[in-house]
Structure 1
Amino acid sequence: MAQRPWRRIGLKPPTPAALGVLLALALLALAHVPPQLASSAPGPPRDATPAAGALACSEGLREPPAQPRREQPHVRGRRRRRAAAGDAPPWLSHDDLQKMRLLAEGRIVSKTRVPAHGQVLRVGLRAEGDTAAASPEEECRAGRCGLIKRPGDLYEVLAFHLDRVLGLNRSLPAVARRFTSHLLPYSYTDGSPRPIIWWAPDLQHLEDANNDQNSCALGWLQYQDMLRPHAPTLGAEDAPCSGIPRSEWSRLALFDFLLQVHDRLDRYCCGFQPDPSEPCMEEMLHEKCRNPAELVLVHILVRRSAPTRLVFIDNAGKPQHPEEKLNFRLLQGIDSFPAAAVATLQSGRLQGLLLESLRLDRELWESHGGAQGLRPLLRTIERRAHVLLRYIREHNLRVFEDLPR
């Protein structure tokens, strides 16, 4: 019988313990082979992805990593066009963008106090290449003026973007800006962002010094009469605001409800129980709610160039107004709403659309901490939108299509 090799040379067979030591030394030597030598060894490269089955087995049946989706050519083209247009969303017109740029970057060349409006300043603005105007009034008549308001009015910028996202297009362009001009008082240049709103040169004001924030004098009872389906023919010359169609009031009511702007349709706070700090309480206006004949509307304005279209001003509203105190009086008498705006509210995309729009206002975006800081405000608007949609369903209200502009 043939002998084993170690018997021929007189060696004893290795013990199991010795075999274990030898195997451990061999594995240790392999672990210290230089990478260059290891990579030259046959087999798959070191960074090769394991087969899907092996990956699932070794990592608890985890799905293999998804391959990146290839962007379709039409999507790439749309992104390129958006980038070429400054990444502006389609609801902001070219005119909007021009005015926003003037407000954000225009050099301040004059300032004027606005009577009876406290901390509001009207400033003349000049973009690069603009010729100097003969006077501050001439600057404003050329459409190169803005109103600087208080830091607490920054929500007017949010209101402008909400107006455009909903397709209402009744607010004046507004941006946030930090001011450094030596022409301004120190309180305006302390580093706090303030809203600046484009000054429309042809806003129509009443000549009455006590009522110059209206284009027409309108009481609450007259307003409710105008909203009735069988109201007298619009355009009757003896009726105030008679040239403004009912659809305009529908836009205003929807906008004011989402922002809870009381100081327009309900400056007396008749639609909710106000806190003692509310202006309507401090000025003892709330007491007039007992007599509807004494109630009047304010900030009802049109432009001479478009006398049938309302202009929404002073739109900061009350973002912190509690949901249990929402003012439904703002909707009283309204029996229909614009279809495009309602569709946007129903889409579930309101927050995303507003973030896309607000991203263009770098000062507002950064001062509020970007998307994370703005989301609480936008969630409030969205919750009010849900309440409004429920109100529309419960009252079986209609929607109307907007006529082409």
Structure 2
Amino acid sequence: MAQRQWRRMGMKLSTPVATGVLLALALLAITHLPPPPDHSPLPLPVTSSPGHLWDLANPLAGGQARRERLPVPLTRLQRGQSPGQGRRQRRSVERETPPWLSDDDLQKMQLLASGKVVSKTRIPAHGQVMRVGLQAMGDAKGDVLPASPERDCQDGNCGLIKRSGDLYEVLAFHLDRVLGLNRSLPAVARRFSSHLLPYSYTDGSLRPIIWWAPDLQHLEDANNDQNSCALGWLQYQEMLRSHRPWVAGDNLCSRIPHSEWSRLALFDFLLQVHDRLDRYCCGFQPDPSEPCVEEMLHEKCRNPAELVLVHILVRRSAPSRLVFIDNAGKPQHPEEKLNFRLLQGIDSFPAAAVATLRSGRLQSLLLESLRVDQQLWESQGGTKSLRALLQTIDRRAQILLRYIQDHSLTLFEDSPC
């Protein structure tokens, strides 16, 4: 058409000139196109087929989320693919992260999700649990293996790989942060491919990996090394009644304030974690398959003096704060068997956590938090599949709120610590 216009004007154009005119007109048209919409959608998971989008929950209302720049190849590394697979170039995108995940949380989650496995150590008497040394992406050390795996762990560069059946621990970590308890160690879901690991760890199954806190305090007693202090059930109940620490020569127990036990009880009830305050399953009738039955622990419920607490741990850097470990709990524990013994002796709860339970937004907040862990999100099917699990947690929250009301329990404000 351009050539016809020029011919009407009595001018002739050579083919190269005509082509140049057409290109100029095309560029002029492009510059007048309307700008693209001002938003950045979340990237599709690597394994998603075209047109398959997760039904994302509404973002957190009333708070400004931070924007973190997380590398897209994180998911590829989590899947254990080699850097040469695929032609996708390394790039960064903005991803909103909820404000309850601190910068330290995000840094540790990044290390756990994408760090290169450079060493391994078996944990005695813990079956398929493996401690691994991790090297962050882009570390200047390159491919040089650490001279001392123990030293690497002391520097905070280790994680504990647990069983596939313990993936609930990742949800527990996010619940801890959403409620503002901040007592659990960072955890993510990951697939491994390192040649240093046995095949059972590299068969493509998704496993939780928990950050290894280098200064957890353990008793020297080989039969009780999963505690920072020895505490029996009767001493624990007396301590709660008097609101005074139980001393009896145990300095670590004496530093744990009453409010810490309240946080632990709330957390364990929502997740139905028995193997801490009630490892003997005295608060409900256990199934024959429960470890407390198989190990003949349930029989000891008839003698409270024999009952002890387990996994009562603190860090040397913060001896007055409990550390919640082994938080897999019971996602399918039936409502008619909820263990109220976990709440026995507790007469107050943290106000901020209870306010979140009352808000009616617990499920949407958890969905927003879990979405940060792309591996877990994809493997569980996103919002639609996670909803049933979160409804169980929410239902337990409503039961706990009714318990607080029926027993006229009080709330306390968190003090900065």
Q: TM-score range by the shorter chain?
A: 0.7 to 0.9
- Determine the structure 1 residue equivalent to 2:350: 338
Q: TM-score, normalised by structure 2?
A: 0.76
Instruction: Map 1:16-31 onto structure 2 (within 5 A).
Output: none
- Determine the structure 1 residue equivalent to 2:90: none
CA contact (8 A) 2:245 2:256 kept: no
Q: Which moved more, 1:212-221 or 1:236-245?
A: 236-245
- Determine the structure 2 residue equivalent to 1:138: 151
Q: Give the one of 157, 161, 179 matched to 2:170.
A: 157
TM-superposed CA distance for 1:248, in Å, is 0.1
* Amino acid paired to 1:152: G
* Aligned-partner Cα distance in 2 for 1:142–1:238: 28
CA contact (8 A) 1:275 1:281 kept: yes
* Aligned-partner Cα distance in 1 for 2:243–2:374: 46
TM-superposed CA distance for 1:315, in Å, is 0.1
Instruction: Map 1:93-242 onto structure 2 (within 5 A).
Output: 93-127=102-136, 128-129=138-139, 131=141, 133-228=146-241, 230-232=242-244, 237-238=249-250, 241-242=253-254
TM-superposed CA distance for 1:232, in Å, is 4.3
TM-superposed CA distance for 1:404, in Å, is 1.9
Q: 3-state DSSP class of the match of 1:197?
A: strand
Q: 1:147-194 CA distances to partner (integer Å, 9 max, x unpaired)?
A: 000000000000000000000000000000011111111011111100
Answering whether residue 301 of structure 2 is matched by residue 289 of structure 1, we say: yes
- Determine the structure 2 residue equivalent to 1:312: 324
CA contact (8 A) 2:64 2:99 kept: no
Q: 1:36-73 CA distances to partner (integer Å, 9 max, x unpaired)?
A: xxxxxxxxxxxxxxxxxxxxxxxxxxxxxxxxxxxxxx
- Determine the structure 2 residue equivalent to 1:397: 409
* Aligned-partner Cα distance in 1 for 2:98–2:251: 40
* Aligned-partner Cα distance in 2 for 1:163–1:385: 13
* Amino acid paired to 1:258: L
CA contact (8 A) 1:218 1:240 kept: no
CA contact (8 A) 1:235 1:242 kept: yes
CA contact (8 A) 1:103 1:146 kept: yes
* Aligned-partner Cα distance in 2 for 1:96–1:276: 39
* Aligned-partner Cα distance in 2 for 1:233–1:183: 45
Instruction: Map 1:371-390 onto structure 2 (within 5 A).
Output: 371-390=383-402
Q: Percent identity?
A: 80
TM-superposed CA distance for 1:392, in Å, is 0.1
CA contact (8 A) 1:111 1:183 kept: yes
Return closer, same or farther for 1:370/1:383 CA change in 2, 3 Å cut-off: same
- Determine the structure 1 residue equivalent to 2:55: none
Q: 3-state DSSP class of the match of 2:97?
A: coil
Return closer, same or farther for 1:166/1:329 CA change in 2, 3 Å cut-off: same
Q: Which moved more, 1:81-90 or 1:96-105?
A: 81-90
Answering whether residue 105 of structure 2 is matched by residue 89 of structure 1, we say: no
Q: 3-state DSSP class of the match of 1:277?
A: coil
Structure 2: tracts of 5 or more residues without a match? 1-60, 70-93
Q: 3-state DSSP class of the match of 1:254?
A: helix
* Aligned-partner Cα distance in 2 for 1:264–1:347: 28
TM-superposed CA distance for 1:129, in Å, is 1.6
CA contact (8 A) 2:245 2:255 kept: no
State the number of aligned residues: 329
Q: Which moved more, 1:176-185 or 1:239-248?
A: 239-248
* Amino acid paired to 1:119: Q
Return closer, same or farther for 1:78/1:286 CA change in 2, 3 Å cut-off: closer
* Amino acid paired to 2:164: P
Q: 1:222-259 CA distances to partner (integer Å, 9 max, x unpaired)?
A: 0001101x344676755661110000000000000000
* Amino acid paired to 2:389: L
CA contact (8 A) 1:89 1:357 kept: yes
CA contact (8 A) 1:250 1:336 kept: yes
CA contact (8 A) 1:234 1:245 kept: no
Instruction: Map 1:353-372 onto structure 2 (within 5 A).
Output: 353-372=365-384
RMSD value, Cα:
1.8
